[in-house]
Structure 1
Amino acid sequence: MALEIERRFLVAGDGWRVHAGEPQALAQGYLASAAEGLTLRVRQASPLPADGGGALAPTAAVAGSTAAQAWLTLKLPAGGIARHEFEYAIPVADAEQLLGHCATALHKWRHPLDLPGGDWVLDVFEGANAPLVIAEVELERPDSPLTVPSWCVRELTGDGRFSNAALARQPFASWPDADRARLEQLLEADARSARAPAPDA
């Protein structure tokens, strides 16, 4: 039985870009999701277009790709930050049909990150979940040592509001104004701090 052991972080600024590889456009929808139960997800992915069409929305990139891949994923809680995960490759045509049956969905760009300590990726959310940027790292054990980059400004592990399923169901743009404003102020403050020159010794 496969286990997913993952920590997640809110990202501010663009310091992550020096560690990032080529992105994939992801469209993912949820056939079932429960905060404390089963999640059944459909994901379709395509690479960045060869003509450099990184300005495309992920929906357009996925729809226009001839190199798309797709998976059906089931997740169940396993205690702590671990989850049971079962993932199966499926035909892209099946994924396109299943996405049409999903009650909730989201789109994002996913970048692999060249960082130590685990398998790091970073998601740049689009549409109603912009401007959220979230980094994730898969670990061998829940207590695996980890050096967290300075641009990861808040740990989100265990905060259900920021799970992909929750963001598909209740996107960031639909959050109460006060909650959204607080988070945007935090991100702007941390981005300014990252850009500030270091004080003289």
Structure 2
Amino acid sequence: MRYEVERKFLVAHAGWREHAVSRHRLTDGLVGEFGGGKVRVRLDEETAWLTVKGRRDGLARPEFEYEIPRADAEAMLHLVCETCLIEKTRHCVPHDGAVWVVDEYRGALAGMVLAEIELEHEAQDVVLPDWIGREVTADLRFRQSTLLRLAREAGRPVTLPEVIAARL
């Protein structure tokens, strides 16, 4: 069993762009939520996955990920996740021996930009790039399910100030 250990941050400015080494267009669909966990289907240009993430304990949570046929993922996105889709471009940005991912959202979350770093363990030291802003790892407003709900309620993409002002 694998544990995902990650931290999430706002992005202060676009200085990361000049250091990005790759990018992938992703579509995520929320299949369901349960007791602090979720089941997600993800599709990129070439591959599809089904992922089960358990309840978070600190920065870590169990994660089970399985490659699935692309046609199955497309069907799930269309038939099961139709109103819970997240579209983003994921950029990989190396910094100080680590690889950050910067997600630029499209669609219902257009304009939102968040950065994440996956760690080997919770106590791992991280050197923050100068383009990293405030940490939002534990901030429920920045969970993708919350961002989608806020956008649905607004009937349009929500802005960062609106998310920050949101009351949960």
Q: TM-score range by the shorter chain?
A: 0.7 to 0.9
Q: Which moved more, 1:1-10 or 1:25-34?
A: 25-34
Q: 1:22 is matched with which residue?
A: 22
Among 84, 90, 96, which residue is 1:110 paired with? 90
Asked if the contact 1:12/1:151 (under 8 Å) is kept, the reply is: yes
Are the equivalent residues in 1 in contact too, given 2:141–2:164 (CA < 8 A)?
A: no
Structure 2 equivalent of residue 3 of structure 1 = 3
**What SS does structure 1 have at the residue aligned with 2:54?**
strand
Higher strand share: 2
Q: Give deviations 1:70-103, integer Å, cap 9, x for gaps.
A: 0000000251110100000001100000011114
Larger CA Rg, structure 1 vs 2: 1
In structure 2, the partner of 1:41 is 40
Pairs within 5 Å for 1:133-152? 133-152=113-132
In the alignment, the residues of structure 2 paired with residue 118 and residue 178 of structure 1 have an alpha-carbon distance, to the nearest angstrom, of 26
After TM superposition, the runs of 4+ consecutive aligned structure 1 residues lying more than 6 A away are: 175-178
- Corresponding position of 2:13: 13
Q: Which residue of 1 aligns with 2:162?
A: 180
What is the aligned-residue RMSD (CA, Å)? 2.5
> 1:132 offset after TM fit, Å?
1.1
In structure 2, what is the Cα distance between the partners aligned to 1:182 and 1:113? 25
Q: Please say if residues 21 and 93 of structure 2, whose CA atoms lie closer than 8 Å, have aligned partners that are also in contact.
A: yes
Change (3 A) 1:104 1:91: same
Aligned length: 161
Any stretches of 5+ residues in structure 2 without a counterpart? none
TM-score, normalising length: structure 2 = 0.85
Normalised to the residue count of structure 1, the TM-score between the two structures is 0.72
Conservation of the 8 A alpha-carbon contact between 1:117 and 1:145: no
Counterparts in 2 of 1:15 and 1:91: CA distance versus 1, 3 Å: same
In structure 2, the CA distance between the partners of 1:153 and 1:173, relative to structure 1 (3 Å rule), is farther
Give 1:42's aligned amino acid: V
Q: 1:178 to 1:128 in 2, by over 3 A?
A: closer
SS in structure 1 of the partner of residue 51 of structure 2: strand
- Over 3 Å counting, the alpha-carbon distance change for 1:14 and 1:173 in structure 2 is farther
The share of aligned pairs that are identical, in percent, is 40
